Amino acid sequence: MPELPEVETIKNELAPWVMGQSFTQVTIFDAGLVSGGSAEEVRRGLIGQKVESLRRRGKYLIFHLSNGRSLIIHLRMTGVLLLNPKQVDHYARAVFHLSNGHRLVFSDLRRLGLIWLVDDANTVVGKLGPEPLDESFTPGILGQRLSRRHIPVKAALLDQGIVAGIGNMYADEALFAARIHPLRKADALSPEEVQTLYHCIRRVLQAAISSKGASVDTYVRPEGELGTAHFDFKVAHKGGEPCPICGSTIERVLVQNRGTCFCPRCQPIDSGPLI
């Protein structure tokens, strides 16, 4: 699933092509793509509207339009946004034509992604937690939010209402960097551990953005190039392989039904209370 670094990369790379441009034609092949309205309502609501700004909130892309409304796109598991692909394949769910002659294709292998056209973006993204890379996000805020949840810290990091944008693979990487076992209770971390985790989250995400995201599955950048962040992964998607630090075998367990990879020696199970 595209996580914060992948969606941030998509935003950064699409912005020069879409900012200041108007939608001239919109084709939605799959009505199930639209949430909270109809495909025809979205089509009519977009045509003629200029993209005033493009931003990311958590894992969502938000196109702010000239009439004050917002087009919100959530790629979910396998969605990609392709700029001027040579052909529109049978996984395409929508095509957006722009006034500069370019087109944006929403392709989605598993058809799980969603779009909204709303008057107020907060109706969709308002319940998200703080952005982990914002200056206003501090170790104290992270500690307060974790202290309210008596669940595994891995599950807490995946809860978008606690912190926005962190998904499975970057949660694994941040916990490994912080040397925290994924089954530790979120509310049992010491202030020192929270401080370390805070810095590891930010460092892991910033490094992944610099590498244009991780192409471990279906993610590609808008012009078709791959991201390279996965080449630097230490534990994510590496169950059964040796730990790059100590050589122990990386284990894979389920945490609330999410595959979780960690090193049992670098992230010792006896370092705190478990579920």
Structural domains present in the chain: 4-125 (3.20.190.10), 139-271 (1.10.8.50)
Percent above pLDDT 90 for the chain = 96
3 given a catalytic annotation? yes
Averaged pLDDT for residues 237-260 = 97
- pLDDT tens sequence across 50-100: 999 999 999 999 999 999 999 999 999 999 999 999 989 899 999 999 999
Set 55, 258, 264, 265: catalytic member: 258
Q: What is the full DSSP assignment across 152-198?
A: BHHHHHH-TTTSSS--HHHHHHHHHHHT--TTSBGGG--HHHHHHHH
Q: What is the full DSSP assignment across 65-82?
A: ETTS-EEEEE-TTTEEEE
pLDDT of residue 231 exceeding 50: yes
> What is the strand order of the sheet 60-65 is part of?
51-57, 60-65, 70-74, 114-118
- pLDDT tens sequence across 114-160: 999 999 999 999 999 999 999 999 999 999 999 999 999 999 999 99
Strands 92-98 and 23-28: antiparallel
182 given a catalytic annotation? no
Set 2, 132, 152, 222: catalytic member: 2
What the block records as the tokens of 15 is: 């912005």
pLDDT of residue 273 exceeding 80: no
Helix residue ranges, H only, 19-60: 39-46
Residue pair 106/79 in contact (Cβ under 8 Å)? The answer is yes
What the block records as the tokens of 173 is: 């990487």
For the chain, the residue count is 275
Output the CA torsion sign for 190, 193, 198, 201: negative
**Banded model confidence at residue 269, pLDDT cuts 50, 70, 90:** confident
pLDDT of residue 270 exceeding 80: no
Provide the pLDDT for residue 42. Answer: 98
Set 59, 69, 179, 184: catalytic member: 59
**Banded model confidence at residue 275, pLDDT cuts 50, 70, 90:** very low
258 given a catalytic annotation? yes
Q: How far apart are CA 156 and CA 47, in angstroms?
A: 40
268 given a catalytic annotation? no
Which region, left, alpha or beta, applies to residue 242 given φ > 0 means left and ψ of -120 to 50 means alpha?
beta
Residue pair 161/192 in contact (Cβ under 8 Å)? The answer is no
Provide the pLDDT for residue 271. Answer: 59
Phi/psi for 23 (5° steps) reads: -80, 125
Provide the pLDDT for residue 239. Answer: 98
Helix residue ranges, H only, the chain: 4-18, 39-46, 122-125, 139-147, 153-158, 168-178, 191-210
- What's the mean per-residue pLDDT of the chain? 96
